[in-house]
């Protein structure tokens, strides 16, 4: 009985827990893809409403993949791709605290800008995989699940992403 | 093909920096790894979005209820309108004959030739509204408002006798008893007994008095009130498509009375007696009258 209860996504508590665990990742995934905050949040909404409507058919264990499947199938043609704008955290502990000459700071600032621009110019597939790993800290396995591809394919995307980023950044040197 | 993606492994901390020595642009790669970990997560209004999801869930629920209500309303409407449709009676008189219709409340309608009358049999007692195109005479039982709609105007009565003509561009209403309200192009007129109103091409054409209890085409009679013989004869000529010569008749009195409009010989007989005259039939359609010389 207990297990059945846990399995039931229609249960408010369970549903909320699923939202708590996955909503942000889905949101970020869509943000990395399209660069549109509004659209990302709307996708989260739609995916979770679909989950609620199908709560009797979706066991707890399948909820995550259901959400991503729905999200991937949403018709998002009405949205235009925007630039993915990212922000550097202010409170990052500086590894090179002792080495903060003005020159260094300027160089760092310059690099950060170049990196952001280079990320914007990545292909959608590479960018999504790269940012899920770097920002959301998803493992390659998790990314593979989200994108519904193999881990090897994720590794390939990461490899390609790194190569393109380096090439673009070094090209402006 | 089992390719190794060293950079991917390195980025995922599965390989140390040393294993990649010799790879082009290692400095830049290191920086990419370092700084790309410093990005903030995109903004996400987690609670707000959840609230919206809840709202939409509720909206969907209430929508579902509304749908079932809407569905039953539709079914009821459907059944009623079917009943309504099936109970609509359409009466059309032939081009050469009149037709009598008795409505559920015993009101009588006489359709003149080539006329169309439509009413709802089942709902008649709730809504006494009928449609007419052509010419009809009504004898309406007292009760709720009785409405006759035509292409031109609407006639409303409570209980009375009246005639409506709505054909081509002519809309004519004659009141034979009680009073009749005529609505035409936002204009209202009330007719009293013996009055009629005619609209022609959307303009009031004439409004004056009639005599008689019923239209002549209904009673098959023609009523005359204090008219000269020549006027009576003119009417007969029109009615029976005949030609009459009364030049030799002494016109000494005016005529008040009723003549049949479907029996020429009877009509002529009545006139003969009244005016003491005689007629000679020239041919089927021509009659010459002369004074009846008493022997």
Mean pLDDT for B136-151 is: 88
Q: Averaged over B53-76, what is the pLDDT?
A: 75
Q: In chain A, what residues touch B38 (CB-CB under 8 Å)?
A: 88-89, 92, 112
For residues B105 and B203, state if they share a domain.
Answer: yes
Among the three residues B141, B174, B209, which one is the final residue of a domain in this structure? B209
ipTM: 0.82
pLDDT tens digits along B226-235: 888 888 888 8
Within a domain: residue B140? yes
Mean pLDDT to the nearest integer, B17-39: 85
Give the pLDDT score at A134: 93
Mean pLDDT throughout B258-279? 84
Least CB–CB distance from B31: residue in A23, A111, A158: A111
The residue segments making up the domain with residue B179 are 89-209
B165 and B94 in a common domain:
yes
Is residue B12 in some structural domain?
A: no
- pLDDT the model gives residue A97: 55
For a pLDDT cut of 70, what percent of chain B falls above it?
Answer: 92
Domain A102-171, CATH class in plain words = mainly alpha
Do B180 and B131 fall into the same domain? yes
Cα–Cα distance between B15 and B30 in angstroms, integer?
A: 13
Residue B275 lies in a domain: yes
- Binary contact (A45, B56; C-beta < 8 A): yes
- Partners of B163 in the β-ladder: B137, B174
Whether B152 and B261 map to the same domain: the answer is no
Look at residues B174, B190, B209 and tell me which one is the last residue of a structural domain. B209
- Are B182 and B225 part of one and the same domain? no
Contact check, Cβ <8 Å, A92/B38: yes
**Domain residues of chain A, as ranges?**
2-73, 102-171
Please tell me which residue, B220 or B45, carries the higher pLDDT value: B45
Report the domain count for chain B.
Answer: 3
A23–B50 CB contact, under 8 Å:
yes
For residues B64 and B156, state if they share a domain.
no
Same domain, yes or no: B243 and B201: no
On chain B, the residues whose CB falls within 8 A of the CB of A158 are: 5, 7-8, 11-12
Convert the pLDDT of each residue in B152-179 to its tens digit: 889 988 778 888 888 877 888 888 888 8
- On whether any CB of chain A is under 8 Å from the CB of B57, the answer is yes
Query: What is the interface size between A and B, counted as CB pairs within 8 Å?
Result: 116
Residues B237 and B257 both lie in one domain: yes
Do residue B81 and residue B159 come from a single domain? no
What is the CATH number for B136? 2.60.120.1440
- B169 belongs to a structural domain: yes
Please report whether residue B203 resides in a domain: yes
Q: Which residues of A touch B43 (CB under 8 A)?
A: 37
Helices (H) and strands (E) in chain A, counts: 8, 0
Q: Tell me: do B137 and B149 sit in the same domain.
A: yes
Spatial contact of B107 and B124, defined as CB atoms under 8 Å apart? no
Indicate whether B36 belongs to any domain.
Answer: no
CB–CB contact B42 A27 (8 Å): yes
Beta bridge partners of B128: B146
Residues B101 and B191 in one domain: yes
Say whether residue B39 is in contact with chain A using an 8 A CB cutoff.
yes
Task: Please indicate, yes or no, whether residues B201 and B280 belong to a single structural domain of this protein.
Answer: no
Cross-chain Cβ contact A49/B57 below 8 Å: yes
């Amino acid at each position: 009985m207990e297990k059945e209860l846990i399995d039931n996504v229609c249960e408010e508590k369970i549903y909320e827990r699923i939202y708590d665990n996955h909503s942000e990742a889905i949101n970020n995934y869509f943000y990395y893809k399209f660069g549109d905050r509004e659209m990302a949040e709307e996708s989260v909404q739609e995916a979770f409403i679909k989950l609620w409507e199908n709560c009797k058919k979706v066991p707890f264990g399948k909820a995550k993949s259901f959400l991503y499947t729905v999200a991937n199938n949403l018709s998002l043609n009405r949205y235009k791709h925007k630039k993915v704008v990212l922000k550097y955290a202010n409170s990052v502990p500086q590894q090179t605290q002792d080495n903060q000459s003005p020159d260094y700071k300027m160089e760092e600032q310059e690099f950060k800008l170049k990196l952001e621009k280079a990320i914007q110019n990545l292909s959608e597939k590479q960018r999504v995989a790269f940012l899920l790993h770097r920002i959301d800290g998803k493992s390659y396995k998790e990314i593979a699940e989200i994108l519904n591809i193999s881990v090897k394919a994720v590794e390939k995307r990461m490899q390609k992403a790194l190569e393109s980023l380096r090439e673009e950044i070094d090209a402006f040197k | 093909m089992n390719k190794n993606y060293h950079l991917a492994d390195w980025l995922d901390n599965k390989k140390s920096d040393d294993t990649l020595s010799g790879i082009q642009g290692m400095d830049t790669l290191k920086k990419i790894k370092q700084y790309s970990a410093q990005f903030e997560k995109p903004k996400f209004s987690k609670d707000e979005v959840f609230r919206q999801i809840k709202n939409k869930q509720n909206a969907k629920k209430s929508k579902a209820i509304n749908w079932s209500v809407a569905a039953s309303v539709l079914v009821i409407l459907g059944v009623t309108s079917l009943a309504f449709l099936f109970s609509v009676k359409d009466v059309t008189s032939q081009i050469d004959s009149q037709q009598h219709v008795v409505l559920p409340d015993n009101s009588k309608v006489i359709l003149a030739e080539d006329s169309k009358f439509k009413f709802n049999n089942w709902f008649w007692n709730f809504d006494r509204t009928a449609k007419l195109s052509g010419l009809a005479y009504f004898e309406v039982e007292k009760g709720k408002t009785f409405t006759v709609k035509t292409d031109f105007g609407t006639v409303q009565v409570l209980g009375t006798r009246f005639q409506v003509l709505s054909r081509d561009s002519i809309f004519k209403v004659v009141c034979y008893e009680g009073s009749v309200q005529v609505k035409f192009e936002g204009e209202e007129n009330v007719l009293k007994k013996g009055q009629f109103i005619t609209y022609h091409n959307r303009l009031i054409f004439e409004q004056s008095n009639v005599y008689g209890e019923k239209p002549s085409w209904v009673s098959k009679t023609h009523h005359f009130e204090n008219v000269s013989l020549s006027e009576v004869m003119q009417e007969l000529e029109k009615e029976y498509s005949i030609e009459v010569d009364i030049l030799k008749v002494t016109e000494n009195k005016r005529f008040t009375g009723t003549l049949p409009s479907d029996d020429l010989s009877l009509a002529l007989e009545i006139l003969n007696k009244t005016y003491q005259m005689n007629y000679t039939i020239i041919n089927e359609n021509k009659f010459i009258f002369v004074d009846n010389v008493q022997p």
